[in-house]
Amino acid sequence: MSGVLVRAVVVSLALVVVGCSAVNESSKPLSVAAEVTPIAVVASKSASPSVTLLDKVVWNAQKQQGKMYRWGGTSPVTGFDCSGLTQYAFRNGAQVSIPRTAAQQYAAAVKVSKEQSQKGDLVFFNTSGKRISHVGIYLGNNKFVHAPRTGRAIATDQLKGYWANRLVGFGRIPGACRPSYS
């Protein structure tokens, strides 16, 4: 758990303890660390952030890293092309069916700006003169996972240089943006 979350839990619990106590203002100050730390440890287990379906989508895609690109590929056994990887990750991570090709996935996605893009959004490129010819899954921090091309393995790349110059935009898949209950 991050230190920021632990501090937030400690401060919140301290406010509750201080606000709910029957101590009057002339009493000794309450030792927040002594009173709250044991509670924060228990609360931290239940306060952990929930795993979303998009986290599972990203995990399913990243799990394929190192496997070789295969044109028309849709399986971890035989390999993936770019849209086969995204289709597989959404089907297995979020139980959401998306179209087969990058262009069809672009048409099905709700467009979002780069500033609004989030982990698990699709990121689309024009690599061959067609409007949409490549797709990956955005990881945040200007990175994405994708099946690049013949001769290359599924990998994480940064949105700079070649990829930044060919970026068309970002898209969010309806139905995949919700908490995971398993």
- Looking at per-residue pLDDT, the higher value among 178 and 59 belongs to 59
Q: Could you tell me the CA-to-CA distances from 156 to 75, 98, 105, 145 in Å, in that order?
A: 19, 21, 20, 4
Pair 147, 154: CB distance under 8 Å: yes
62-85 pLDDT tens trace: 999 999 999 999 999 999 999 999
Band of pLDDT at residue 5, cut at 50, 70 and 90: very low
- Give the active site residues: 82, 134, 146
| Dihedral, CA of residue 44, residue 47, residue 48 and residue 51, to nearest 10 | 160
- CA dist., res. 142 & res. 7, Å (int): 28
List, in order of start, the domains of the chain with CATH numbers: 3-46 (no CATH), 53-172 (3.90.1720.10)
- Looking at per-residue pLDDT, the higher value among 178 and 116 belongs to 116
Q: Which tokens hold the place of 66? A: 């190192």
With b for 16 or more beta-carbon neighbours within 10 A and e for fewer, the 130-143 pattern comes to eebbbbbbbbeeeb
- The candidate with the shortest Cα–Cα distance to 177, out of 100, 132, 128, 116, is 116
CB-hemisphere CA count at 13 Å for 143?
Answer: 9
How much of the chain exceeds pLDDT 70, in percent? 70
